[in-house]
Amino acid sequence: MPELPEVETVRRGLAPRLAGAIIRRLEVREWRLRWPIAATLPRQIEGLRIQQVSRRAKYLLFDCGEGHLILHLGMSGSLVLLESPQPLKKHDHYDLILDSGAIVRFNDPRRFGSLHWMCGDVDNHVLLRNLGPEPLAEQFSGKVLHQALRGRSAPIKSLLMDQRIVVGIGNIYANEALFLAGIHPRTAAGRLSLARCDRLVGAVQQVLRLALQAGGSTLRDFVNSAGEPGYFQMDYRVYGREDQACRHCSGKIRVLRLGQRGTFYCPRCQR
């Protein structure tokens, strides 16, 4: 469930406490995440100082000077900051223990999360190198999107979720943004006019900003770095609202399957 707003919410929770902190120890209990954690990692980062906590796409980056820790929450991962040791729960896979005694604890039932180390320019990491623009950055515009979609015949919704086109957008916000922009999710991406791309970029930014203000929305089990759930459920216009009335035209919200993902839309408002 973590899309950009959720990951950014976690980052904002962690950053003030982690910036300047020294890593005392990395304690790994389950090495088999999406990719195995490098066996050398604990020794590699011991004693390093975290200079800042940033985010690229849905990845969290802990800048340790000589290198970066790259964390991903996968589908079901969460990071919680503990002031002191707490009893372990199921799926607590690793602890990053700081000199202060505080602990960053990673829990991930489905183990699709990951933990990597990258020396030097972190943007060159194989996981980051092919990522598209940040959706809330100034460089992202209708023009940029329009250009990226040129000649593409895949449904716009699939490409909106393609991290090489633009990062941070998962299933929920793709559905919501397309509704706001009045675009049918199955529209061939390359057929969108520049004007519609402009509108779509505006919708994406609006949806993400709203979710950020909400402190990261939640499908069901998102928790921020304090272990609290999303402050309130986002007020979805279409996501999860199959057969309910469209808030704009009162028509029935429909659902279809696009790339194995639930795709919700209003046939009357989205063309």
Which residues are tagged catalytic?
Answer: 2-3, 58, 261
The residue assigned the tokens 């940029």 is 144
If one asks whether residue 260 binds DNA (CB under 7 A), the answer comes out as yes
If one asks whether residue 75 binds DNA (CB under 7 A), the answer comes out as yes
Alpha-carbon span 48 to 152, nearest angstrom: 45
Q: How far is the CB of 98 from DNA (least distance, A)?
A: 26
Binder of DNA out of 43, 110, 191, 248 (CB under 7 A) = 110
Nearer to DNA, 97 or 159 (CB): 159
If one asks whether residue 31 binds DNA (CB under 7 A), the answer comes out as no
If one asks whether residue 207 binds DNA (CB under 7 A), the answer comes out as no
Binder of DNA out of 58, 68, 105, 237 (CB under 7 A) = 58
Alpha-carbon span 74 to 107, nearest angstrom: 11
Binder of DNA out of 56, 68, 72, 116 (CB under 7 A) = 72
If one asks whether residue 253 binds DNA (CB under 7 A), the answer comes out as no
Nearer to DNA, 65 or 150 (CB): 150
Indicate the residue type of 134: E
Q: Of the ranges 79-87, 203-211, 243-251, 254-262, which one interacts with DNA (CB under 7 A)?
A: 254-262
If one asks whether residue 89 binds DNA (CB under 7 A), the answer comes out as no
- Residue 152-181 contact track with DNA, rule CB under 7 A, x = bound: xxxx--xx-x-x------xxx---------
Give me the torsion for CA of 178, 78, 117, 124, rounded to 10°.
10
Residues near DNA (CB under 7 A) are: 1-3, 57-58, 72, 74-76, 90-91, 109-112, 127, 152-155, 158-159, 161, 163, 170-172, 189-190, 219, 259-262
